[in-house]
Amino acid sequence: MGNSPPVFKQILSELGYDVVVPPPPSRRTLDLGTKYAPEFACIPFKILLGSYLEAIDLGADTIISTGGVGPCRAGYYGELHRGILHDLGHDVDLIIIEPPLKRPADFLRAMYLLFRERKAPLWKLPDIFWRAWLKLNAIDCVEKASHDIRTFEIDKGETTTVFRQCMEILDAAQSKIEIKEATDASLELLSAIPQDRSRDPIKIGLIGEIYVVLEPLANHNVQVKLEEMGVLVHRSIYLAEWTQNNALTNREYDVKKAAEPFLSELVGGHGRNSIGETVLYAQKGFDGVIQLAPFACIPEIVAKSILPYVSRKLNIPVMTLFLDEQTGEGGIRTRLEAFVDLLVQRKKKKEGQLACVGI
Amino acid sequence: MRGYLGVDVGSVSTNLLTTDEQGNIIASLYIRTQGQPIAAIQEGLALLKKELPADFQVCGAGATGSGRTLAGVIVGADLVKNEITAHAIAASRLVPNVQTVLEVGGQDSKIIILREGVVTDFAMNTVCAAGTGSFLDHQAERLNVPIEDFGTYALQADNPVRIAGRCTVFAESDMVHKQQLGYSLQNIIAGLCEALVRNYLNNVARGKDILPPVVFQGGVAANIGIKAAFEKALGTPVYVPDHYGVMGAWGAALLAQENMSTGKNGASSFRGFEAAKLDYEASSFDCQGCPNQCEVVSISMEGKVIGRWGDRCGRWENMLGNT
Ligand code: SF4
C-alpha cells in the first residue's frame, strides 16, 4: 500500500529471507486481479490478488498479508485469496497477520510461521523491528512534507519528481542514524522546491476506506491531482499513524466520539471513522471533504448515506467517489474539478467577494 | 463584430456556439461526435464560420465536455472547464435564481444544485443511468415512432404503463413485455418516460434537495414527454431553455468572456477558424518509464506536437513546455 513496501522488505530480509517486492500496483496488476477475483469483490481485493500473482511470477513462495476485524468482508479476504491462488495451481503459503491485540492467538500463530525459518538471532529482533518502525514513520513524515509543498509548487510536477528521489534515499537507509540523516536530507530537498506561499488555497480532507485512501492506483492519485490544482489536501490516514492507533494501541477515541451523534454503531471497515473524520474536518474549518470508497463497500455505503445529513448539519460539502476497475480517469477528473470550483465559489462568497466562476 | 466561442465535446455530440460581446448567443450548432472528436470540431468550426458575419472576431474561447482537453488544444481555448461548472453558469445566466439544474444528454446525466447563484452540490450519473439519450433514440426506432414525436405520443397517454426502470437494460426488456401484452403505444411511451425519470431521480439525484426553479437541459430536454414526467414526479414546473442542447457550450463561452474580462490574460489564444483546415493527428502510447505505465495521448498539428496529457509524472507534458 502506498510507500510502505520497502519497510516490510527490510524486516524480512534482515530476518534472513529472500524477499521479492512486487512492482507498485499498476493497471496490469488490476487487470490480473480482476481476471481471477469474483466479480463483486471490491477493488482492494483485486489489486492485492494481482500483486500476489505478480510476486509469484517473480518467484515468491510465501506471501505475507494482513487480516482485519469487524463486520467487513476484508477479514475473510485472506482465506479467499489463498483459495484462489491454490485453485490456480500456485503452491504458496499465505501468512495472514491479524491485529495483535484483537486476535492474539492468530497473531501469534502467524508470528510462529513467520519466524520458524528466520536466520537472525532472537536478540536482534527488537532492533530490526524498531528500525523498521522508524523507517515507516520517516516515510510518512517525508510524504506529509511533500503534500504540504506540492500545493504551492511553482513548476507543476516538481514535488513528485523530488519525492521519488527522497524515497530512494530512504530506501537505502538502514541504521538508525542513516534513517535520521535520510529523513533530514529528504526534507531539505523538498523544502528547496520553489514555492509560491502567497496563494490562499482551499482545504480538502480525504476520508474513506484505508486501502483506497492509501493506494494511488485505486484512487487515481486524487491527492496529487488535487494538489496540482492548487488545493491543500489533508489525508486522514497515514500508515504508521494508523498502525499505532489500531494495531498496537486502541486510540481513535476522538474520531469515534466525533461520529457518535450521527453513528454510534460499529459498521465495519472505516465506516464510522469516515463520519467522525468528516465532523472533525468541519470543526477544523476545512472547505470540503472527499470520501473514497471501493464500489460496493458496505461500511462506506452506510457512511455515505449518513454523510449528506452531516454535511447539511455542519455546513461542509462532501463528495463521494466510488472506485472500481471500471472507474474512468475522465469521470474522476471532472468530478474533482467541479468540486473544487464549488468550494472556491463558496469560499469567495463567504469572504464577501463576487462569486464568479472563472477561477 | 467581436464575440466569444464555446465548444462542448461530448461522447455523443459536439456543440459549438458563438456569442456577442454581452454573451448573447448569435450562432450555435450541434454535430454528432461519432467517435471522431477532432473531425467533429473541425467540421463545426467550418460550419460556424459560414453563419457568422465576415468580420467576426473571437476575443475569447472556452472548451468543456468530456473531450475538453482535446478541444482546448485544437481550438486554442483560453479556458478549459468541466461540464458541471459550464452547465451551471449557463443555467444561472438564463434563470438567475435557479436552484436545480437537471441535465440529461446522450451519454451522461447530471444534477446541479445551486443556492443564491453558487453551486452547492452536484452529482453525475452512475452506470445505471447512463445513455438515456441514446436509449430513447433506440426505443423510438424499435417502436417505429420518430424521436421528435415521442413526446407528443407520451402526452396523449391516458394511463401510462408502469415500466421497471432500474436501468435502461431492465426498462427495455420490460417494455418489450408490455408491448406484447397489447398496451397502446401512447401509454407505453409515457410509461417509458416516467421510468427514465424515476431512474434518474433514484440514481443521479438521490439524496439531493430539489427546489424550484428547476431548469432542464441537455439533448433529452427536447422530449416533452420526459419534461412532463419530471413535472409530474417533482410536482413543480420545469423550465426548458430555448438552447437546451448547447448549454454546456454556452457556459464555456460565458466563462471565456468572464476570464478575458479579468484583463490579465492578454489576447485570446484562439487558433482561428482556419483551424478547420489544418491537419491534426492524435496518437497514444503506453509509457514504459515506470510501473504506472500511463497511457499518454499526444496531439500534433501539421506534424508538430501541440498537446500531451495522461502522464502522471508530468514528464511528457513538461517536455512540451520546453520545446
Ligand atoms: S508517464 Fe511518468 S508516471 Fe507515467 S508511466 Fe511514464 S514515467 Fe511513469
Residue B79: its H or E element: strand B79-80
Strands A288-294 and A203-208: parallel
Q: Which residues of chain B have pLDDT under 70?
A: 126-131, 165-170, 263-265, 320-323
Instruction: Retrieve residue A119's grid coordinates.
Output: 536466520
Q: The whole model's pTM is what?
A: 0.86
For every residue of B305-317, DSSP letters joined together read EEEEE--SSSHHH
CB neighbour burial string for A205-240, b if at least 16 within 10 angstroms, e if fewer: bbbbbbbbbbbbbbbbbbbbbbbbbbbbbbbbbbbb
Cell of B271: 487558433
The alpha-carbon gap from A245 to the nearest alpha carbon of chain B, in Å, equals: 31
CA of A93 to the centre of ligand 1 (A): 33
Distance CA A160, CA A147 (A): 10
- Distance from C-alpha of A73 to C-alpha of A81, rounded to nearest angstrom: 12
Question: Mind telling me how many Å the CA of A315 is from chain B's nearest CA?
Answer: 10
- Rounded mean pLDDT, A87-96: 83
Residue from A315, A341, A351, A359 to probe the interface with B (highest B Cβ count within 10 Å): A341
Determine the distance in angstroms separating the CA of A307 from the nearest CA of chain B, rounded to an integer. 10
Show Cβ contacts of residue A298 under 8 Å, excluding neighbours closer than 6 positions: A72, A73, A267, A268, A269, A271
Whether B82 sits inside 8 A of A341 (CB atoms) is yes
**A337, A338, A358: residue with CB nearest B79:** A358
All three cell numbers of A166: 527522497
- Is residue A250 within a helix (H) or strand (E), and if so which, with residue range? none
Smallest CA-to-CA distance from A227 within A163, A181, A165 is with A163
Give the residue carrying C-alpha cell 465536455.
B65
Residue B178, ligand 1, Cβ within 6 A: no
pLDDT level of residue A125 (50, 70, 90 thresholds): confident
Q: In the structure grid, which three cell numbers stand for residue B49, read together?
A: 464560420
**What is the predicted pLDDT for the residue at A102?**
63
Contacts of B293 (CB under 8 A, 6+ apart): A26, A27, A28, B286, B287
CB A162 within 8 A of CB A190: yes
Inter-chain touch B293–A23, beta carbons under 8 Å: no
pLDDT at site B168: 66
- Nearest alpha-carbon partner for B215 in B254, B255, B243, B253: B243
- Nearest CA owner, ligand 1 atom 4: B294
Q: Which helix (H) or strand (E) holds A206?
A: strand A203-208
What's the ipTM? 0.84
Q: Which residue has the cell 432500474?
A: B166
pLDDT tens for residues A4-39? 777 778 888 887 778 888 888 888 888 888 999 888
- Range picked from A51-55, A121-125, B121-125, B212-216 for highest mean pLDDT: B212-216
Amino acid at B297: V
Q: Are A239 and A214 in contact (CB under 8 A)?
A: yes
Residues 6 or more apart in contact with residue B112 via CB below 8 angstroms = B84, B87, B88, B91, B100, B101, B103, B119, B121, B122
Cβ–ligand 1 distance for B174 under 6 Å, the answer no
Residues of A in contact with B82 (CB under 8 A): 333-334, 337-338, 341
- Closest residue by Cα to atom 2, ligand 1, is B313
Cα dihedral: A120, A7, A25, A328 (round 10): 150
Which one of A167, A222, A342 makes the best mutation probe of the B interface by having the most chain B beta carbons within 10 Å? A342
Closest residue by CA, ligand 1 atom 8? B290
For atom 7 of ligand 1, which residue has the closest CA? B289
pLDDT for residue A357: 46
Q: Is the CB of B287 under 6 A from ligand 1?
A: yes
Total H helices, total E strands in chain A:
16, 6
| Range with the largest mean pLDDT of A67-76, A204-213, B302-311 | A204-213
A70/A66 Cα distance (integer angstroms): 14
pLDDT digits (tens, 9 = 90+) for B187-204: 888 888 888 888 888 888
B293 and chain A in contact, CB less than 8 A: yes
Cell representation of residue A177 = 542514524
Where residue A233 falls among pLDDT bands split at 50, 70, 90? very high
**Which has the higher per-residue pLDDT, B48 or A124?**
B48
| Grid cell for residue B51 | 453563419
* A100 at interface of B, judged by CB pairs closer than 8 A: no
- Å between A106 CA and nearest CA of chain B: 34
Task: Please state, in angstroms and rounded to a whole number, the distance separating the CA atoms of residues B210 and B98.
Answer: 11
**Model pLDDT, residue B323:** 40
Cis peptide before B213 (omega within 30 of 0): yes
pLDDT digits (tens, 9 = 90+) for A287-346: 999 999 888 788 888 888 888 888 888 999 999 998 887 777 788 888 999 999 999 988
Per-residue model confidence (pLDDT) at position A227: 92
B60 contacts in A (CB within 8 Å)? none
Please enumerate in sequence order all residues whose Cβ is within 8 A of that of A159, keeping only pairs 6 or more positions apart, or say none. A146, A149, A150, A153, A190, A193, A227
B309 lines ligand 1 (CB under 6 A): no
pLDDT value for B167? 65
Nearest beta carbon to residue B119 from set A26, A308, A341: A341
**Interatomic CA distance for residues B111 and B92, integer angstroms:** 14
d(C-alpha A69, C-alpha A78), whole Å: 12
Determine if ligand 1 sits within 6 Å of the CB of residue B318.
no
Rounded-to-integer distance, Cα B132 and Cα B138, Å: 10
List pLDDT tens digits, range A155-188: 888 898 899 889 989 888 888 888 888 899 999 9
